């Protein structure tokens, strides 16, 4: 038997109401993901011969994907960023570069860490990141060397 007031029929009303309520509840969640890979918060400190490296940058370079980087503060501390400030890194294994240089003038650069750490191909530094951490320590060494000033061309 057909309902006389079709639009107000109980079955139609609850189907329409239920469908509308479902969309109302789901709509705010659409588009909430930034579409980027999951990231883990990573921060730590860079030490050279046991002392904080107070100038430079650190970069975590994955085999595939986007690198993460951070500026070192006056205590050698860093918080990695991949897409946005302090958003962390994607899980994985990384080769590490540390640029421990400081521009003194247009023709001079002071190196507070050996140049070998500047490129991951020569730094021999790697790190596996599988969980968030705020206590990662990256240890560098001068191997008997010391900070120096490089003249640029």
Looking at residue 27, its pLDDT comes to 53
Per-residue pLDDT band for 153 (boundaries 50, 70, 90) equals confident
| CA nearest neighbour of 120 among 57, 73, 71 | 57
**Which pTM value belongs to this model?**
0.75
pLDDT mean across residues, the chain: 86
* Under 8 Å between Cβ of 21 and 15: no
Q: DSSP class of residue 111?
A: E
d(CA 101, CA 35): 35
- For residue 145, how far is the Cα from the chain centroid? 31
d(CA 57, CA 105): 18
d(CA 13, CA 152): 78
Question: For domain 42-151, is the CATH number 1.10.3470?
Answer: no
Per-residue pLDDT band for 135 (boundaries 50, 70, 90) equals very high
According to DSSP, the residues that pair with 79 across neighbouring strands are 43
d(CA 135, CA 82): 18
For the chain, the residue count is 153
pLDDT digits (tens, 9 = 90+) for 136-150: 999 999 999 999 999
The arrangement of strands across the sheet holding 126-129 comes to 68-71, 57-62, 92-99, 126-129
Confidence check: pLDDT of 102 > 60 = yes
Tokens read off for 134: 């705020």
């Amino acid at each position: 038997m057909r309902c006389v007031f079709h639009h107000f029929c109980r079955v139609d009303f609850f189907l329409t109401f239920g469908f509308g309520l479902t969309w109302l509840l789901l709509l705010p969640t659409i588009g909430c993901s930034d579409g980027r890979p999951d990231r883990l918060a990573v921060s730590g400190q860079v030490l050279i011969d046991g002392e904080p490296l107070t100038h430079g940058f650190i970069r975590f370079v994955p085999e595939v994907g986007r690198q993460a980087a951070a500026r070192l503060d006056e205590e050698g501390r860093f918080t990695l960023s991949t897409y946005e400030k302090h958003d962390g890194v994607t899980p994985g294994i990384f080769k590490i570069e540390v640029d421990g240089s400081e521009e003194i003038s247009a023709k001079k650069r002071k190196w507070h860490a050996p140049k070998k750490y500047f490129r991951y191909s020569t730094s021999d530094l790697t790190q596996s990141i599988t969980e968030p951490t705020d206590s990662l320590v990256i240890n560098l060494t001068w191997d008997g060397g010391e900070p120096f000033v490089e003249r640029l061309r």
